[in-house]
Structure 1
Amino acid sequence: MGWLLMIALAALVLLALWKVAGFGRLGLQLAGAALLLAMAGYAWQGRPALAGRPVPPPARLELPESAFAQTREAMLGAVDQASFWLRMADSYHQRGDTYSAAAILRSGIRAHPRDPDLWVGLGNALVVHADGMMTPAAELAFNRAAAIAPEHPGPKFFYGLALAQGGRFDEAERVWLALLARAPADAEWRPMVVERVQMIEQLRAMQRARPTR
């Protein structure tokens, strides 16, 4: 049955080339030779009697909850319209699908372009997708969040966190110290920033104490 179908298909192709494309005798001979070569390849390698074997999708790596997800509510508060998009992105991140996590947040931003929490979430998602590196697109997202809500600590805090995760500790420290310089003394989020500045200082102390060879 398979051979009959192939012969019928070859005949239809040659007829179409002759009637529609206007191929001459030489062109039809070349096309026929190509079709015969394809049929010979099928006769040599084809195995139509083999049972189908669907290939399972590749397993995804389960990732731990990100630092952004762990500290988001404490810094941003109980977000309302952004929470749906942020939690959906978290679920993709934990399955290892960092591309879809960022795509979900882009969809949320199209629906709510003036929501700084979504821009912060996008910046974080882009950093995670880039294996902890601050990309120009991620930096643009953090800057956009800061421009929308210049008095809110969240964009600067998470920008510094993303810098620190990429190993850019000096830059992260500068961002956090500038945030602390204008923070009220009784701000609830202040201890979170102080703690991370102290972590950078401890890291430097450990590096200085490490013996040199």
Structure 2
Amino acid sequence: MIWLLFLALAALVLAPLAFALLRPARLTGRREADLALYRAQLAELEREREAGRLEESAHRAAVVEVQRRLLATPETVPASRATRGSPGATPRTTPRTTPGALSGGAALLAASLFLVPAAGFGIYLWGGHPDIPAAPFRERAAEAAREEALLAQLRSRIEQLPPGSEAARQGWILLGNAQRGRGRLTAAAEAWEHALGTRFDPDLAAELAGLRIELSQFDRAAALLDKALAVEPNSPQLRFLRGMADAQAGRPEAARAAWTTLMAALPPDSPWRRLLRQRLDALP
């Protein structure tokens, strides 16, 4: 059953190629192509005029020039006259291929209809694992429930530890890391806040400040970074995040001042310089 599903998906993906291959050739005359080109040019000139990027006099002159080129375009000779007229007269149309023959592009499309599924099947057999059983939703839900139970158990044990102990601090950091890995930013920030309350650490403060910025809590992030900078005033990470908090809070001038000062203090080979330059260029 699974292989029938794979074949159906392959047919669905390759359907546009088959349509392009089987679609009959369309004859397009020179005059028709020129008309389409000049219409596009006139439409572009009109958009430029409406946007205010082209003055009225310049717009009129450009339109006249496009119209002059259109009038100078040679007419297409009708197919009926070409067949009845002189032997050298031929219609200006794209040539048809001989029935039953494929052009180079059509041959490539036809080959792709067979080569793409065959290549995909071969790569899957070589690097895939078709014998691995599927993970039903019930099993995934059960695994998520087990993880939730473990996190709840970890939090319960941490709360039973002495509040100011190093074991409790490490437990809160571990819980915050687990919650951050699950995408629960608010819960991770709460756990790291408990750890900082036990003992202040500038590195953990930087992690928590970055989390606060992601949660759009810019003032709380700025206050935390100011406290960390009082301990480590030369930390590039803390100074960069301080400017980031200002930039995200809508204070571009404060962010520019912080990042410019940091840029001047960094050595020429510092990896922070490129990131700072990108952020400074992005400021309004």
Considering Cα pairs closer than 8 Å and 6+ residues apart, tell me whether 1 or 2 has the greater RCO. Answer: 1
TM range, smaller chain: 0.3 to 0.5
